[in-house]
Amino acid sequence: MLANCYRNSLKIADAREFKSIAFPSISTGAYGYPVQKASQIALQTTKEYLAEGGSKLELIEFVTFVPGDYRVYLRTYQEIFQLPPIESSIS
């Protein structure tokens, strides 16, 4: 269900010819969904959507509200997109 939220939002953004979209860490606040799982779903779904080709999106941002969530998203991003570690000044 969470993956569908991201996938459908990306589809709508493309259908409306948006150039960018930003996502919060959906369901990890009041609903208490684990940030690690949420970040994996968000980033893997986005990667798969972009791999399908045809997207006109130039910028996709994932917004976090606390430093701990940022670190989780950063690590997950590096794993999913197979990037070297990125230095962060967020502690």
Domains of the chain as residue ranges with CATH? 2-80 (3.40.220.10)
- Is 90 a residue whose pLDDT tops 70? no
The predicted pLDDT at position 11 comes to 98
Q: Which residue has the higher pLDDT, 13 or 90?
A: 13
CB 71: neighbour CB atoms within 10 A?
15
With 0.85 as the threshold, say if the pTM is over it.
yes
Quote the pLDDT of residue 63. 96
Question: Above 90 in pLDDT, residue 91?
Answer: no
Tell me the C-alpha to C-alpha distance, in Å, between residue 56 and each of 13, 50, 53, 65. Answer: 9, 9, 9, 27
Q: Please provide residue 63's backbone torsions phi and psi, each rounded to the nearest 5 degrees.
A: -105, 130
